[in-house]
Amino acid sequence: MRVQILSLSMLLATCAAPDVRDVPPSPQESRASEAPRTPDFVTDAALRSGAGTYLLELDPPLAAMPDNESFRFEVRVADAHTRQAATDITLAVDAAMPEHGHGMNRVPRVSRLADGRFAVEGMYFHMTGRWELYLDVTRGAWTERAQFRVELSDE
């Protein structure tokens, strides 16, 4: 199976979020923050939601999503500016084949795990071809979509 992922969001995430941890802190910064920095909830592989509010890290990643097989994945959702877990949000997941005019024929079950992660179960891409994966992050009355393209091939 070969999977290609094309995601503008991913490119943006790569460009807009350089790994600041690799930059050595200045002596002043070291004195100012003696307590160790809270580790980021997501890694630099995280994808960005449509308006850039959230970072989402999928495990297994998009590239490992199978065709014609039921699968589950986990999602970490972080606020993009703090890189810490977004704990006051809800998550809904769906997917569709835009060229075919249909989706998965199912709504995956999303459940919140103990440490701020989400489990997404009951996913099924029943055809090869271009899928769009939608992760809708809702905080209060505001929903922001993270949308990623998954090209599935069985060759």
Partner 1 sequence: MKLALFVLLLAQVPSVQDASWSEREWAKARAHTPLPGPRPSPTNRVADSADAARLGQRLFFDPRFSANGSVSCASCHAPDLGFADGKSLSMGLARTARHSPSLWNVAQQRWFFWDGRADSLWAQAVQPLENPKEMGFDRVSLARALRGDATLRAEYEQLFGALPDVASWPERAAPGDDASERAAAWKRMSADEQRAASRVAANFGKALEAYERRLVRDDAPFDRFVAGDATALSESAQRGWKLFAGRGNCRSCHSGPAFTDGEFHNIGIPPLAGGKPEDPARYAGIDLVREDPFNAQGEFSDAREGDAALELEVLERTPQNFGEYRTPSLRNVALTAPYMHEGQMKSLADVVHFYSTLEGATQIGHHQEQVLQPLKLSASEAADLVAFLESLTGTPPPAALLAPLEEKR
Contacting residues toward partner 1, per CB under 8 A: 67-68, 70, 99-103, 105-109, 121-122, 126-129, 154-155
Using CB atoms within 10 Å of the CB of residue 121, give its burial: 0 to 12 exposed, 13 to 18 middle, 19+ buried: middle
Q: Residue 129: phi, psi to the nearest 5?
A: 120, -160
CB closer to partner 1, 33 vs 70: 70
CB closer to partner 1, 117 vs 126: 126
CB closer to partner 1, 66 vs 116: 66
Shortest Cβ 128–partner 1 spacing (Å): 6
Shortest Cβ 73–partner 1 spacing (Å): 14
Shortest Cβ 66–partner 1 spacing (Å): 11
CB closer to partner 1, 109 vs 112: 109
Shortest Cβ 116–partner 1 spacing (Å): 23
Q: How many CB atoms lie within 10 A of CB 44?
A: 16
Length of the chain: 155
Q: Contact, 113 vs 74, CB < 8 A?
A: yes
> What span, in angstroms and rounded, lies between the C-alpha atoms of 134 and 126?
16
Q: Residue 9: phi, psi to the nearest 5?
A: -60, -40
* Coil, helix or strand at residue 30: helix
